[in-house]
Amino acid sequence: MIDFELPPQVQQARDMLHMVAETMMRPIAREYDEREHEKPWDFLNAMWEASKATNPVSFGGGGKKEPGAPSVRNLQTVVSIEELSWGDAGLYLSIPNPGLGGAAVAAAGTPEQRERFLARFRSGPPKWGAMAITEPHCGSDTAAITTTAVRDGDHWVLNGTKIFVTSGKMAAQESDGFVVVWATVDKSAGRAGIKAFVVERGTPGMTVVKVEDKMGIRASDTAMIVFENCRIPLDNILGSPEVQRSTEGFKGAMATFDATRPAVAASAIGIGRAALDFVRAELEKHGIKIRYGVSRNKLTAIERDFMDMEATLQAARLLTWRAAWLMDQGRHNNLEASMAKAKAGLAVTQVTQKAVELLGPLGYSRKYLLEKWMRDAKINDIFEGTQQINLLVVARRILGYSSKELN
């Protein structure tokens, strides 16, 4: 039988994080949206102390698992991210954690590397991980990456520029963090020559040259990082350094996105739900209550719009939970991860824009957070693979085409 109820431990974590979102994040959301390049250290330190004992790859951890009970780590993670993003997506993204860099280590690293790079997130001062893949001339086409990694004795030497690195400044400059950098060891090999490298905080030759001014998620830093003769140990490459003319090694690195795309989808759902909750509350203040169970042709236009918004978000949530559940089962979720990301990214942009539209001047005013949620929403349709890229992945998986056959 299909069960849509959350396990008790996941529901407990959800309730706790909703309280955090409501009491710690919402009150400072506007302040740190306006003070984009400042950090809410009281909040960050509190979240670090609360979270460093959980699983070092994700926010939710897995809680204690009874012998023989199924894993719920990834399901708990996406549910937790939804609640934190309901509080504020920018603040959620600024919380100290391994981030996308940690996900890359978990997906492509050896057991020794996972322990070496992720164990540090269990203790000490706040620290961040980040992943650097996008370049000034290269967005979704990862085969066009030009950052190079050249072996020199017992080191790799990295040269290149990466842009739009989420938490890049914090990972590169604070405490004991690291940046996972995607670079090519053999340009002629195309995707097969692309590898992931861990560059630890403070490594000479890694320089944060710019922190972006952004439309949304402004509490989170987004950096440009230049690597100039940046030397890292030989064993900081994730996985094998061997270049095989198949793309199997590259697919292993790309498995990072199978884990992170459901997380992005969950964040989108949290933002959309925040907007929906606000609209419902404002409508009720004005005596407008959504009537469920009434024939659609008897509903007002506002009621129909609101129900459509709810249905869109719920569909995205169920896709996201399925993608997370598959990970917990140890099953491939490449198709489902991209479906969830594509659906949620589109849903949150539509829902937040419609929410602003429904409330008119009230929605457009900076007096309330609704206009901010509309700004925060759009990034979920862009990073971790754009809407178009994720739909392309979905089409390839359903139709059985390779990237060369369908691009």
Active site residues: 384
CA distance 162 to 208: 10
Residue 107: both structure tokens together: 């997906």
- C-alpha angle 363/365/369, rounded to 5°? 70
181, β-bridge pairs: 132, 197
- ∠ CA 284-285-290, nearest 5°, is 10
Strand partners, 194: 184
3-state secondary structure of 179: strand
Angle at 175 between CA 172 and CA 178, to 5 degrees: 40
State the DSSP code for 1: -
3-class secondary structure, 148: strand
Determine the Cα–Cα distance for residues 181 and 330; give it in Å rounded to an integer.
26
Q: Whole-angstrom Cα distance, residue 255 to residue 378?
A: 24
Asked if 174 contacts 190 with a C-beta cutoff of 8 angstroms, the reply is no
